[in-house]
């Protein structure tokens, strides 16, 4: 039995309330819930309200708001979305963590004697590259934040928007005498890489739903 417009609206409102705005989950979960209700209405001799509460009660566990230390506790999403975001982001998180530690360790072991000219030239090169990368980062971040269509990938980009702001500033104001600037630079490069990769994935995901997006 197909649901009426009002009943469909109830399901949509439920998903809005749960914050399921991510297209890569919304379409699928909406279809699943509506299919479940339609089938139950056919099989069981019960009214829509009762079935609606049974089905949504079953989904609540997966759709309740959840957060993770990986993204910062300020960012939350339905549990099912958060779980996927964590799975997708974890390799990048640990890669960036290694980049934070490795240059410092290498520098202390190698004890390099670098001439001031080399330091100066490398600093300038890092600044120019950082500036170029900043524009790429800005483009991908602004483009995804303005996009009305949200995916798990745009959620990840959003969670990284605050932490990255200080990185180019520090790169532009430091020298490479110690491992710090190199560390910051490498972390910044990896974050821009992350943004570009997830921006592309976001676009690819949208492409699958072109019927809806238009």
Q: How far is the CB of 209 from another protein (least distance, A)?
A: 6
Owner of token pair 């900043």: 134
- Residue of 1, 41, 36, 33 lying closest to 15 (CA atoms): 33
Closer residue to another protein (CB): 30 or 95: 30
Q: Does 203 bind another protein (CB under 8 A)?
A: no
> For another protein, which is the closer residue by CB, 113 or 148?
148
- The structure tokens listed for 80 are 């099912």
Nearest to 137 by CA among 81, 187, 80: 187
Q: Where are the alpha helices (DSSP H) in 47-178?
A: 48-63, 79-110, 116-146, 152-159, 166-173
- Enumerate the β-bridge partners of residue 78: 65
> H or E element: which one contains 68?
strand 65-68
Task: Note whether 197 binds another protein by CB under 8 A.
Answer: no
Say whether residue 80 binds another protein (CB under 8 A): yes
48 binds another protein (CB under 8 A): no
What residues numbered 98-157 form the site for another protein, per CB under 8 A? none
Q: Which of 5, 1, 25 is nearest to 15 (CA)?
A: 25
Nearest-approach distance from CB 15 to another protein, in angstroms? 12
* Least distance (Å) between residue 5 CB and another protein: 8
Residue 121 CB: number of other CB atoms within 10 A? Answer: 12
Binding to another protein by CB under 8 A, coded x per residue (else -) over 3-42, reads x----x----------------x-xxxxxx-xxx--x---
Q: How far is the CB of 41 from another protein (least distance, A)?
A: 14
Count how many Cα atoms sit within 13 Å of the Cα of residue 141 in the half-sphere of its side chain: 18
Write the CA distances from 120 to 114, 126, 129, integer angstroms: 10, 10, 14
Taking the least distance from each CB to another protein, the nearer of 118 and 212 is 212
Q: Does residue 60 touch another protein according to CB under 8 A?
A: no
For residues 70 and 129, which CB has a smaller minimum distance to another protein in the complex?
70
92 binds another protein, rule: CB under 8 A:
no
| Number of chain positions touching another protein (CB under 8 A) | 27
Which residues form the interface with another protein (CB under 8 A)? 2-3, 8, 25, 27-32, 34-36, 39, 58-59, 61-62, 80, 83-84, 87, 208-212
């Amino acid at each position: 039995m197909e649901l009426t417009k009002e009943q469909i609206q109830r399901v949509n409102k439920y998903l809005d309330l749960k914050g399921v705005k991510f297209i890569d989950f919304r379409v699928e979960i909406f279809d699943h819930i509506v299919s479940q209700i339609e089938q139950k209405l056919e099989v069981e001799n019960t009214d829509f309200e009762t079935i609606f509460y049974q089905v949504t009660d079953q989904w609540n566990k997966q759709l309740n708001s959840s957060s993770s230390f990986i993204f910062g506790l300020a960012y939350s999403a339905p549990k099912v979305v958060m779980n996927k975001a964590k799975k997708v982001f974890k390799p990048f998180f640990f890669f960036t963590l290694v980049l934070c530690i490795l240059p410092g360790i290498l520098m202390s072991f190698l004890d390099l004697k670098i001439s001031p000219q080399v330091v100066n030239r490398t600093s300038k090169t890092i600044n120019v590259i950082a500036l170029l990368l900043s524009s790429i980062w800005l483009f991908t971040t602004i483009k995804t934040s303005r996009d009305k269509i949200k995916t798990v990938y745009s959620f990840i980009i959003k969670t990284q928007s605050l932490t990255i702001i200080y990185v180019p500033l520090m790169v532009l104001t430091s020298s490479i005498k110690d491992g710090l600037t190199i560390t910051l630079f490498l972390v910044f490069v990896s974050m821009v890489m992350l943004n570009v990769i997830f921006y592309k994935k976001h676009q690819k995901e949208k492409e699958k739903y072109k019927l809806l997006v238009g």
